[in-house]
Structure 1
Amino acid sequence: ILLAVPALEAGGTKCSSIDCLGRRIGPSFLGRQGGDSTRLVQDLYGIFDQVNNEESTSDKKLPESFREFLSEMKDNHYDARTFAVRLKATMKNMDKEVKRSRLAEQLYKHYASTAIPKGIHCLSLRLTDEYSSNAHARKQLPPPELLPLLSDNSFQHYILASDNILAASVVVSSTVRSSSVPEKVVFHVITDKKTYPGMHSWFALNSVSPAIVEVKGVHQFDWLTRENVPVLEAIENHRGVRNHYHGDHGTVSSASDNPRVLASKLQARSPKYISLLNHLRIYLPELFPSLNKVVFLDDDIVVQRDLSPLWEIDLEGKVNGAVETCRGEDNWVMSKRFRTYFNFSHPVIDRSLDPDECAWAYGMNIFDLEAWRKTNIRDTYHFWLKENLKAGLTLWKFGTLPPALIAFRGHVHGIDPSWHMLGLGYQESTDIESVKKAAVIHYNGQCKPWLDIAFKNLQPFWTKHVNYSNDFIRNCHILEPLYDR
């Protein structure tokens, strides 16, 4: 700034040294009649240091740009002290504006990430209409002769819970395409009652043969009664919970937050976290009583490699095969320990958990249901949901993973990180070569690949699995993104 002020004021004449600064500003700037330029500059630095250690008290309207500041300085013939005071106040104000803009960006991103894109909403409506008017869209999935395979443990059983038809189609198609034995793949797609007709229509009209697909709504599971999931019903009906997830999310932001912290807070307040669909994985042993081992996939993942070897992993008696997220090259994505998720200032958490305990990831998990049925994981999960309600939702901040981290303690077997790469929904600088090598890539975070706010360098790994020539997709104006070549 010391060099820029006289240079800009000079209007293009050469003036770029400290000595030049002394000559350009001159003795009058310091309230003097004469003196050498080096001494003037030293005194100016002294004034800057003095002002820098004082509290800003200027009530005068501040310039909105540096150009305005220079113009104001020139018009008002500021002395050195006034110049320093105004410069400090202006820079401080600009810094606040930049931070406010970054926080606002995160808030707008949150609204964009929780809204349903028009094209995806259209797709659901059109497929629902097709279900009511087209018998082929209502055909039984799978056909009667294949029903026994839904409980055949010699097959590879994948479970996907989603109310996003387009996202579900990508998960299923990418898994089948990547499989070395697609004829052994069985998908159990679970959705909510509202989405069920559209989801069923999609997979009835778009076969992934030789793989097998079953589509079920949560309303079609006899076990999912209010008696069996009372805690989740309490969560959905709790006024504090509804305000937390559906209230004014703008009140979450604080001037002291950095943008990444705010993004995490907002993500934790996504309404999806009080959906039964999002808690469904904790009931897998009861929902699939005949199955011994399953892979559970989130709907924001893409499978890029054959997952068959997952069934050969020895979990050593553990329930949950998962990638641990406390070690790795990425210091942001792979640095998650219990302190990341839990409020250790709360006495209940402080006396129950270790802040340095390693966390693990949802999104791609291999579950041994036989081993799970011998544990009290579900009851532990319910207990901690109740404790969080009692504590006014202050025990943790990140959705449904924290209670699972507690419930599965002692039941997790770490698997190689190359099986599951995280962070593609919030880490734009993700290494592309690492993405290409990963078996499963996970767009966890706000910037989902089906949204306009997706990272353009990471989105193509997802879009290549979307059939943009499909009539339903085309008629809903879901268009393939254009990228710079």
Structure 2
Amino acid sequence: MKSGVVSVNGVGISTTKRRWRGFVIAVLGLVFLSMLVPLVFLIGFHHAFHSSPSSSGSGFPSQQQTSLDDRAVGAYESHHYSNYNTMDPERVGKQDLGTSFHIGINGSITKGHPENHVDKNVQKASPERYNVNINSPMALNQGDESEVLCELRFGSYCLWRREYKVAIIDSMVKKLKDRLFVARAYFPSIAKLPAHEKLSKELKQNIQDFERMLTEATTDAELPPHVENKLLKMEAAIAKAKSIPVNCNNVDKKFRQLVDLTEDEANFHTKQSAFLYKLAVHTMPKSLHCLSMRLTVAHFQNPSVGLDDSVTEKFVDPDMYHYVMFSNNVLASSVAINSTVLHAKESKKLVFHVLTDRQNFFAMKLWFIRNTFKKASIQVLNFEDYNTIPGLSLSEEFRVTYQVAKLPKMHYKTNYISLFSHSHYFLPEIFKTLDKIVVLDDDVIVQQDLSALWRLNMGKMVNGAAEFCAVRLGQLDNYLGNINFNRTSCAWMSGLNVINLTSWRKLNLSEKFQTMVQEFRREGRLLEAAASRASLLTFQDLVYALDETWVRSGLGHEYGLDVQSFKNSAVLHYSGNMKPWLELGIPKYKSLWLKFINREDQFLSDCNVIP
């Protein structure tokens, strides 16, 4: 045939060849696609795996951080010691009585979470009411991130944890847990390989042995004998498993699950430790509670003798040196008074007025009758007799975290601002015959004679106080509300305050304070939270800045202070959580406080107060 087409049984050979050619092309296309799709998937997975913002430095994405339990991060930093005897976790977390200030580089502050200014990708903590935060987030150095986050969330707990960090113990138990972790990750993949059934059984047996040992032992001393042999067998089995080609995805998935479980456990223990730390620093120690109760019982068993008229006259004599202290802690107030008297040149001119609550009134009264302080006179007053608001509120303390301007980025400093509570604004009404007083907090000790304070010429100023100029009121404008104030004014501190009661009455500052408190309370804030804001504003442009040699604060928070550097300070203020009468107090500063305790008193021995 001229056409060149051969016909076999009526079907053209050229037609058959074209059909086979199309079939081969289709098969090759399917093979190519079957190789391309997994390749694209693996490349995309690898890219997502390494570029994920949640990935940790070890190559595995870290678990999403669990939001902090309210019980662990209660914002209330005030030291109302006797009110915490019935404390429970829910109360600690839900107290709406305090504030954390977080001040940024540019001073911009907004309400929100303490972590907002750290990293947008970081899981936010539980909300702390009345928190103040910066608007713009800041980049964190990878090496500093964990420490910065810890201090922002848990405050001085992080400092305490670093100070008391101990060397790793029970290293064998930790090594067993590590090998068990790896064996569990490889076992599912090895078990799916029929050719390695023997290795699978070996791994399973080793895992069961390790689990049994770790269930019965938590320390190296509790481990059974020949544990080293079992460890060697496990390591040999793991080495074999690593040498066998397995599906990496399965191992990776198992590792992630184990990492997540481990991080969950670590996060839980961190929050639990921070909560227990907060509970410890906010709770009246058992020994001090015993002291107050025994003194109260002793007072009613043997009614104390009344004061003579000559001593009573000193309480209203404006020519005496009058010191006022708000306290419900018998031992703390005694140490503050004793240190003041011991360094006074004329102790007979000193008059101390201790204002306490009804619960501790009789204990305080008996203590200061039993103990003499040279020729100083001491008057114990029940504050609730002068105040319609039940209870006594002490100076409020608030944690402030800010960046040090002169140092490189990411260098943060934490300090505590101590302010008057609403109880302090009854002073002009309580001491109507006095023109000038010195207010001491009960967490101070005095190292020099304070008589020079009575010769200070404060002019028109009302409150002589130490200023904290690392934080200015302009940085707290969103926190303080829509009220006109001097943005350049420094925050001032309680602890040692010289008060001109004459100017106070003339300017009617108590009424001004109460007005601001009512305005803040209309915004839904509790009394203590409103009082802290009003205290910052009541004395604006009326604070006389005391020389820095008068007061050294931070002894209840800062570990790195040089003891020699503040020996010349007149007053040492244990501002912060770690008060010197607590077991958590900073040891190298506690010795300065302990030397003013009257160790001969029988009540102290009976209650094991003396360490």
- Please name the residue that 2:281 is paired with: 113
Partner of 1:210: 375
Residue 479 of structure 1, CA deviation: 2.6
Name 2:604's counterpart in structure 1.
473
SS in 2 for 1:429: coil
Give the deviation of 1:405 after TM superposition: 1.3
Q: 1:81 & 1:339 partners in 2: Cα distance?
A: 57
Contact 2:486 2:541 in 1 (8 A): no
- 1:371 maps to which of 487, 499, 503: 503
> In structure 1, what is the Cα distance between the partners aligned to 2:252 and 2:473?
46
* Matched ranges for 1:79-98 at <5 A: none
CA contact (8 A) 1:421 1:438 kept: yes
**Superposition pairs for residues 404-415 of structure 1, below 5 Å?**
404-415=535-546
Partner of 1:390: 522
CA shift, 1:372, in A, is: 0.9
Amino acid at match of 2:273: E
* 1:439-478 → structure 2 map (5 Å cutoff): 439-478=570-609
Preserved CA contact (<8 Å) 1:156 1:186: yes
CA drift of 1:338 comes to: 2.9
| Cα distance in 1 between the residues matched to 2:561 and 2:482 | 34
Q: TM-score when scaled to structure 1?
A: 0.68
Residue number in structure 1 paired with 2:492: 360
The 1:48/1:438 distance shift into structure 2, 3 A limit, reads farther
Identify the match of residue 192 of structure 1 among 336, 339, 357.
357
- Higher strand residue share: 2
Contact preservation (8 Å) 2:473, 2:486: yes
User: Aligned pair in 2 of structure 1 residues 90, 121: CA closer, same or farther (>3 Å)?
Assistant: same
Moved more, 348-357 or 409-418: 348-357
Change (3 A) 1:349 1:278: closer
Distance 2:547 2:448 in 1: 14
- Partner in structure 2 of residue 139 of structure 1: 305
Distance 1:60 1:465 in 2: 51
Equivalent in the alignment of 2:141 = none
Find the counterpart in structure 2 of residue 437 from structure 1.
Answer: 568
**Alignment check: 8 A CA contact 2:415 2:554 kept:** no
Point out the more displaced range, 53-62 or 465-474. 53-62
State whether residues 106 and 262 of structure 1, in contact with CA within 8 Å, keep that contact through their aligned partners in structure 2. no
1:302–1:441 Cα contact (<8 Å) kept: yes
Residue 429 of structure 1 and its aligned partner are, at CA, apart by 2.1
Rg larger for? 2
Which amino acid is the alignment partner of residue 144 of structure 1?
A: D
SS at match of 1:107: helix
Could you tell me which of 422, 430, 436 is aligned with 1:279?
A: 422
Point out where structure 2 has 5 or more consecutive residues left out of the alignment: 1-44, 65-173, 187-238, 397-411
Task: Assess, with a 3 A threshold, how the Cα gap between structure 1 residues 263 and 417 changes in structure 2: closer, same or farther.
Answer: closer
Letter of the structure 2 residue corresponding to residue 201 of structure 1: L
Q: What's the offset of the Cα at 1:100? A: 5.7
Distance (whole Å) between structure 2 residues aligned to residue 68 and residue 345 of structure 1: 52
SS at match of 2:567: helix
Task: Confirm whether residue 301 of structure 1 aligns to residue 444 of structure 2.
Answer: yes
Q: Distance in 2 between matches of 1:79 and 1:354?
A: 69
Query: Cα distance, 1:70 vs. partner?
Result: 5.7
Instruction: State which drifts further: 358-367 or 152-161.
Output: 152-161
Which one-letter code corresponds to 1:155 in the other structure?
M
Cα distance 1:475–1:357, how it changes in 2: closer, same or farther (>3 A)? Answer: same
Query: What is the alpha-carbon distance in structure 2 between the residues aligned to residue 306 and residue 202 of structure 1?
Result: 24
Pairing partner for 1:336 from 459, 471, 483: 471
CA gap of 1:151–1:431, structure 2 versus 1, over 3 A, is: same
What's the offset of the Cα at 1:261?
Answer: 11
| Preserved CA contact (<8 Å) 1:103 1:262 | no
Deviation sequence 1:144-187 (CA, Å, 0-9, x none): 22222212222211001111111111111111011121121111
CA contact (8 A) 1:323 1:416 kept: yes
Q: Alpha-carbon deviation of 1:374? A: 0.6
SS of the equivalent of 2:322 reads strand
Q: For residue 281 of structure 1, give the secondary structure of its aligned residue in structure 2.
A: helix
1:313 is displaced (CA, Å) by 1.4
| 2:324 matched residue in structure 1 | 159
Are the equivalent residues in 2 in contact too, given 1:51–1:81 (CA < 8 A)?
Answer: no
Q: Label 1:322 to 1:476 Cα distance change in 2 as closer, same or farther (>3 A).
A: same
Structure 1 residue 52 corresponds to structure 2 residue 39: no
Which residue number corresponds to residue 40 of structure 1?
none
Per-residue CA deviations over 1:109-132 (Å, capped at 9, x if unaligned) read 221122221111111111111211
Where 1:299 maps in the other structure, the secondary structure is coil
Q: Residue type matched to 2:537 in 1?
A: I
Letter matched to residue 305 of structure 2? K
Shift in Å, 1:67 = 5.8
Shift of the alpha carbon at 1:473?
A: 0.5
Query: Quick one: distance in 2 between partners of 1:79 and 1:466?
Result: 70
Q: 1:76 to 1:60 in 2, by over 3 A?
A: farther
Distance 2:247 2:478 in 1: 48
The residue correspondences of 1:149-298 to structure 2 (distance < 5 A) are 149-221=314-386, 224=387, 226=388, 232=389, 278-298=421-441
Deviates more, 1:94-103 or 1:364-373: 94-103
| 2:38 corresponding residue in structure 1 | none
Q: Compute the RMSD of aligned alpha carbons.
A: 4.0
Contact preservation (8 Å) 2:422, 2:528:
no
Aligned match of 1:249? none
CA separation in 1, counterparts of 2:46 and 2:446?
A: 58
For each residue in 1:411-450, what CA deviation from the matched residue of structure 2 results, as whole angstroms up to 9, or x when unmatched? 1110112211112222222332233222111112221111
Aligned partner of 2:534 in structure 1 is 403
Conserved? CA contact 1:157–1:295, under 8 Å: yes
SS in 2 for 1:317: coil
Mark the CA change 1:59 to 1:479 in structure 2 (over 3 Å): closer, same or farther.
Answer: same
CA contact (8 A) 1:423 1:443 kept: yes
Given that 2:489 and 2:541 are in contact with CA atoms closer than 8 Å, whether structure 1 keeps it comes out as no
> How many pairs are equivalent?
379
- Aligned-partner SS, 1:167: helix
Check 1:60–1:415 CA distance in 2 against 1; reply closer, same or farther (3 A cut): closer
Change over 3 Å in CA distance of 1:130–1:59 after alignment to 2 = same
Moved more, 194-203 or 396-405: 396-405
Residue in structure 2 matched with residue 27 of structure 1 by the alignment: none
The whole-number CA distance in structure 2 between the counterparts of 1:205 and 1:118 is: 22
AA of the residue aligned to 1:338: L
Q: CA deviation at 1:302?
A: 1.0
CA distance 1:314–1:192, shift in 2 (3 Å): same
Q: How many Å apart are 1:99 and its aligned residue? A: 6.2
Return the alpha-carbon distance in structure 2 between the equivalents of residues 216 and 293 of structure 1. 18
Q: What amino acid sits opposite 1:54 in the alignment?
A: S
The percent identity for this pair of structures is 28
